[in-house]
């Protein structure tokens, strides 16, 4: 059960940190040399880009453009391919641009990747969501809210649009009287009701702070002897069930939420790439430790067993392991 994997104190520990002695000019020169002439030196590209943080990569992009009059991301994409190209491109984009691109791609073509919409919007802070909305508009000259409304429907649409407002309480305060009111409201909207009032779940789960929701879920379990996840599975279905479960899992245990998408049936590369990029500068060290506890093998072992080549090297570097280890 997810909550058992959560420790009472949580200190986020990243695997990618600012590179000491960073010199954007030197890095730009090395990358240019790695792509000059016949063949490509993937090792130089990987070594530099996985040992600099995102802010430093942006300085490299600027230095490359000033020194060589070319776009570094375009050059990298022209020299690389497959999953290696995808993960390197993701590393070079700012977090907001990357998330905006992932959201746009999830709504392109036939059908909608609802899991991507739910994963990104449930796991980003208010400020991050604000940046994503603004970046989406500038990058694609389109309104993210309107695009989501055109690609989703009913309660799932309301769920996503509520998250998109970025109005979650982000304080640490837990009001025990409000906790009890929320437990009663969730129970009345689900277990004690013929049918389900999804809007009540949306109102509470998309607005309350992390610590308050943890208290609500624990009190809910104690009062009716049933996990909130079990109630969601019993009372909801389809996209709405998936979205609310993603959110509740994230608030019960952020690490388990990311582990769930990383460690499933086979390798979901698109999700794996997004998680490795988005969490490497936040809490990838924590994710690695929880992965070992839950799965009985290290994240590095999973990557080495399931993935190969230069793509493997990048993933290992992002989780703080050299491929030789």
Task: With respect to residue 184, please indicate whether it lies within any of the assigned structural domains.
Answer: yes
Across 203-212, 255-264, 297-306, least confident range: 255-264
Q: Is position 122 within any domain?
A: yes
Examine the pLDDT at 2 and tell me if it is beyond 80: no
State the CATH number of the domain containing residue 260.
1.10.220.10
Give the per-residue SS3 of the chain.
CHHHHCCCCCCCCCCCCCCCCCCHHHHHHHHHHHCCCCCCCHHHHHHHHCCCCHHHHHHHHHHHHHHHCCCHHHHHHHHCCHHHHHHHHHHHCCHHHHHHHHHHHHCCCCCCCHHHHHHHHHHCCHHHHHHHHHHHHHHHCCCHHHHHHHHCCHHHHHHHHHHHCCCCCCCCCCCHHHHHHHHHHHHHHCCCCCCCCHHHHHHHHCCCCHHHHHHHHHHHHHHHCCCHHHHHHHHCCHHHHHHHHHHHHHHHCHHHHHHHHHCECECCHHHHHHHHHHHCCCCHHHHHHHHHHHHCCCHHHHHHHHCCHHHHHHHHHHCCCCCCC
Q: Are residues 193 and 224 in the same domain?
A: yes
Domain residues for the domain of 59 are 24-92
- Cα separation of 255 and 167, whole Å? 23
Q: Which comes out higher in pLDDT, residue 118 or 254? A: 118
Is residue 323 situated within a structural domain?
Answer: no
- End residue of a domain, out of 57, 77, 92: 92
Q: Are residues 75 and 184 in the same domain?
A: no
- What's the whole-model pTM score? 0.89
Whether residue 57 is found in the same domain as residue 104: no
Which two structure tokens, joined as six digits, stand for 82?
């497959």
| Amino acid 178: pLDDT | 98
Q: Are residues 147 and 63 in the same domain?
A: no
Q: Are residues 61 and 160 in the same domain?
A: no
**Is there a single domain that holds both residue 302 and residue 216?**
yes
Instruction: Tell me the per-residue pLDDT of 152-190, one tens digit each, with 9 for 90 and over.
Output: 988 999 999 999 999 999 999 999 999 999 999 999 998
Q: Is residue 1 part of a domain?
A: no
Q: Which of 110, 133, 164 is the last residue of a domain?
A: 164
Average pLDDT score, the chain: 89
Residue 312 lies in a domain: no
In the prediction, which pLDDT does 251 show?
74
Residue 171 lies in a domain: no
Give which of 50, 51, 76, 46 is closest to 61, Cα–Cα: 76
Pick from 143, 164, 185: which residue ends a domain? 164
Give 223-264 pLDDT, tens digit per residue: 999 999 999 999 999 999 999 998 888 877 666 656 665 554
Q: Are 75 and 109 found together in one domain? A: no
Number of domains in the chain: 3
- Assess if residue 2 is contained within a domain: no
Distance CA 187, CA 167 (A): 24
Pair (112, 78) in one structural domain? no
pLDDT of residue 5: 37
Q: Which long-range contacts (CB under 8 A, 24 or more apart) does 153-157 make?
A: 154/240, 155/198, 155/199, 155/202, 155/240, 156/114, 156/238, 156/239, 156/240, 156/243
Q: 35 near 75, Cβ under 8 Å?
A: yes
The residue that leads in pLDDT, 11 or 233, is 233
Residue 324: inside a domain: no
191 and 296 share a domain?
yes
Residue 81 vs residues 44, 50, 78, 243, 268: alpha-carbon distances, Å: 16, 17, 8, 32, 18
Q: Give the whole-angstrom CA distance, residue 297 versus residue 159.
A: 35
Residues 78 and 99 in one domain: no
Maximum distance among all alpha carbons in the chain? 70
Looking at the fold, whether 78 and 134 belong to one and the same domain comes out as no
């Amino acid at each position: 059960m997810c909550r058992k994997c959560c420790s009472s104190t949580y200190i986020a520990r990243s695997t990618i940190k600012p590179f000491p002695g960073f010199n954007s000019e030197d890095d730009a020169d090395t990358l240019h040399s790695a792509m000059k002439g016949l063949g490509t030196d993937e090792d130089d590209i990987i070594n530099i880009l996985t040992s600099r943080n995102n802010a430093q990569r942006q300085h490299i992009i600027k230095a490359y453009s000033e020194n060589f009059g070319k776009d570094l991301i375009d050059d990298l994409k022209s020299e690389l391919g497959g999953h290696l190209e995808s993960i390197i491109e993701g590393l070079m984009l700012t977090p907001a641009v990357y998330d905006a691109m992932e959201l746009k791609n999830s709504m392109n073509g036939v059908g909608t990747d609802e899991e991507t919409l739910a994963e990104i919007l449930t796991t980003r802070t208010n400020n991050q969501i604000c940046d994503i909305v603004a970046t989406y508009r500038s990058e694609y000259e389109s309104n993210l809210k309107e695009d989501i409304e055109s690609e989703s429907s009913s309660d799932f649409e309301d769920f996503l649009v509520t998250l998109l407002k970025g109005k979650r309480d982000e304080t640490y305060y837990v009001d025990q009287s409000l906790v009890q009111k929320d437990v009663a409201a969730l129970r009345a909207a689900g277990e004690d009701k013929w049918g389900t009032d999804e809007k009540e779940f949306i109102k509470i789960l998309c607005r309350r702070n992390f610590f308050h929701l943890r208290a609500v879920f624990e009190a809910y379990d104690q009062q009716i002897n049933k996990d909130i996840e079990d109630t969601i599975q019993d009372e909801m279905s389809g996209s709405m069930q998936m979205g609310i479960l993603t959110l509740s899992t994230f608030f019960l245990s952020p690490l388990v939420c990311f582990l769930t998408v990383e460690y499933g049936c086979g390798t979901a590369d698109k999700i794996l790439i997004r998680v490795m990029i988005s969490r490497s500068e936040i809490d990838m060290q924590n994710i690695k430790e929880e992965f070992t506890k839950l799965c009985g093998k290290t994240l590095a072992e999973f990557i080495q067993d399931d993935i190969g080549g230069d793509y493997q090297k990048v993933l290992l570097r992002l989780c703080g392991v050299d491929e030789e280890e």
